[in-house]
Amino acid sequence: MIVTPLGAWFTVTGSWNLGVVVCDFWISVDVLVCTASILHLVAIALDRYWSITDICYVQNRTPKRITLMLAVIWFTSLLISLAPFAGWKDEGFSDRVLKQHVCLISQQISYQVFSTATAFYIPLIAIICVYWKIMRAAKKRFKRERDRRTVIRPPPDAIDEKKAMMPKKSKKCPLPPAVVISDIQNNGGGGKNNSIKNPPRHHESSSSASEEERTMTMTNCGGNGDVATQETKIDGTAEEKQNKAGIIKRRRRTKESSEMKRERKAWRTLAIITGTFVACWTPFFLVSIYRPICGCQISPVLEQVTLWLGYLNSALNPIIYTVFSQDFRAAFKRIIKRMCLIHDY
């Protein structure tokens, strides 16, 4: 509300005719709010990092701690913006405003190095490092969730089927060896002693049969089910197991794909936030540090484009953070409702 109208007027008219005092005021407020905006992005990044890496941070995020962080942000911004009033100005500042009609921040090289480093270059490095650590922590969390979900656990139905296929001890249904049945058929229902003592040779190979087939055959000694029916049941059970295994694999793939989508979305969000910040502010601060070092005249078009790119970032921040964060979206809704005197928040 203060900086942008004066900046627009200066851009449209192409000259500054409001005097030295208004120029000082405009530059100071401009530096104050733009620096505070950038440092707030650092605070948001730190808050996110602590929320991910420190389990107890949510309980420790007290109003006192938040107030302290805000106080540090605004104190640093005030220190940078008010330093020229303490004499940190170049000698040609007044002549530049009164004679050349150009309102420009102090071109003292030491001040430019201090202000650009504190307001942009150090926060830029901090934001990139913090968001990189956030993504590393998020990737570790995604990996832990993926490893936890990929542990193969048999479904309850499969466990019940395995229990059902295990041999059961029962007095009503004894489990004699397969030899008895064959010998009874050969001897015409002879005595048990003979059948056991003289087992036929062709049944010796029956011991090599699988335990599951034996069990399924012997548990049906009641006399109603035949071997073919039991084999069909075994095959059907195998098919059901394969189908269930396929369903489990498909579900696992679905979970993995959803986790990959979450990871890509997190990367995209951080890339948009960081990329927008870098793209908008880097040209302005490169020109700011280059101008006093080279002592040359910068094109007015380039000056205005780089200046308004920085203003654009401050305009985009509320949109970016509310689109990609539910907390910011809810907070902005509450603020707007209070401004409109709506009390249903």
Residue 54 pLDDT exceeds 90: no
Domain 2-149+253-342 part of CATH 1.10.10.10: no
Mean per-residue pLDDT for 118-144?
88
pLDDT band at 196 (very low <50, low <70, confident <90, very high): very low
Mean per-residue pLDDT for 115-120?
94
pTM of the predicted model, to two decimals?
0.64
**Between residues 37 and 228, which one has the greater pLDDT?**
37
From first CA to last CA, the distance across the chain in angstroms is: 27
Pairwise CA distance, residues 268 & 324, whole Å: 10
Percentage of residues in the chain with pLDDT exceeding 90? 28
| Structure-token pair, residue 242 | 């394969």
Pairwise CA distance, residues 222 & 54, whole Å: 65
Mean per-residue pLDDT for 292-308?
87
Mean per-residue pLDDT for 254-283?
78
Q: Cα dist. 227→32, 161, 176, 217, 230 in Å?
A: 89, 19, 16, 7, 5
Mean per-residue pLDDT for 14-36?
92
pLDDT band at 210 (very low <50, low <70, confident <90, very high): very low
pLDDT band at 155 (very low <50, low <70, confident <90, very high): low
Q: What pLDDT is stored for residue 240 in this prediction?
A: 61
Tell me the chain's radius of gyration from C-alpha atoms. 40
